[in-house]
Amino acid sequence: MSGLAAVTTILNVTTTYSATTPNSQIYKQLDLFGDVLERVRSDYVEQPDDAKLIETAINGMLSGLDPHSAYLNAKHFQDMQVQTRGEFGGLGIEVTMEKGVVKVVAPIDDTPAANAGILANDLITHLDNKSIVGLTLTEAVGRMRGPVNTEITLTVVRDGVEDPLDIKIKRAVIRINAVKSRAEADGEIGYIKVTTFNEKTHANLVKAVQKLEKEHAGKLKGYIVDLRNNPGGLLDQAVAVSDDFLDKGAIVLTKGRNLQETQRSQARVGDITGGKKVAVLINGGSASASEIVAGALQDHDRATIIGTRSFGKGSVQTIIPLGGHGALRLTTARYYTPSGRSIQAKGIDPDIIVEQETPEEIKKREERAPRGEANLRGHLTPEGGEEEEKSGSSTFVPKETDKDQQLLYAIAWLLDKPTDIKAVRREDAEKAAKEAEGEKAGGDAK
């Protein structure tokens, strides 16, 4: 690595050799780092662990870039590989880091965390009564994992609840069943819930459609693809799932600083549904790979997107193995929908907006702690600037199907049946927003 860096420096240095060139400045900063490191090693009150010092320094550098870049030591790298294969030991929660504590994006259905009552937007402050302040997200996740059938106590701060909650959870083998399916409306609608994008998502989706087609042959009129609270996952799986519903055209474009990071994925002939109507459900918990699928099907008019604005994570992370030293998870590109839209910190706006009726306590919590990429500290700003930021929305989905207004509306829409569920078309919402903004501007001028 040092040899490669030296070659690169030589190639980029101009004949001026100014003391103020970027290369000389970075070496001055590295000298400063070396001075601090040696002072810590020689004078700190206790003998520090050299490897831990370097690992912490690397993590600090990466966490200062954006919320999604991180260093994975050998153990955490192995854990990540296991997780993308769809099976790992742990609690069953998707998390992110916010203000020094772990924030729950969503508990995974039918896992110890979900069964114990962990909720989206919960803030985890302690693990077994030990504060997680100062830990990276990767380190905190590593501590939550452990041998099956062992217990861990999570201290949770929840909006609307005065005192922190201590929730004891027994670890289990978490098998991520990426795709769940069932028939709705007496077999006329195929419902497919995609919970994550791991290595098995595309294959499981194909199997689910084949099973529904076989069991309800000649009766199925359309499909609902539920991406609500799906935090994303593997880019190639998002491309494959999009391709399952498309016969041609672009799926996603990724653009990075380097030419090799700029790629376009194209659909191949073959729609596994045979061209049936498709509705895609999204909400504030639909992120990353979920947004790639929703954006591709929306831009090609292959599906109608129903629900509320998505999370707004429009960046791609590349896993770069570092030999026996783990791996680097680095944000290397932004992605764009087929029409060229970047959804970074903006999200996907549904074609038909259907707000879920939310319990008052959850509504208050989400108002106090709005979610979305735009609310994460250090996030990449949209290309149009911060004024375009608007990502995120409610993540609440009722467990009872008869109370799930977004699902019920999608069924009615696919069957062309009337419904009294309140819905607003995107163009009408945008028009109303512009009119309200104009009225405000006029009032300010007066």
Catalytic residue annotation: 288, 299, 313
Residue type, 198: N
Cα–Cα distance list, 366 to 121, 183, 353, 374 (Å): 8, 32, 18, 14
Backbone region of residue 170 per phi and psi (left: phi > 0; alpha: psi in -120 to 50; beta: other values): beta
Q: Can you name the residues that pair with 173 across neighbouring β-strands?
A: 89
The alpha carbon of 422 is separated from its chain's Cα centroid by a whole number of angstroms, namely: 28
Residue (of 91, 164, 104, 172) closest to 129 by Cα position: 164
Using alpha carbons only, what angle is made at residue 42 by residues 39 and 43, rounded to the nearest 5 degrees? 75
Residue (of 297, 402, 279) closest to 348 by Cα position: 297
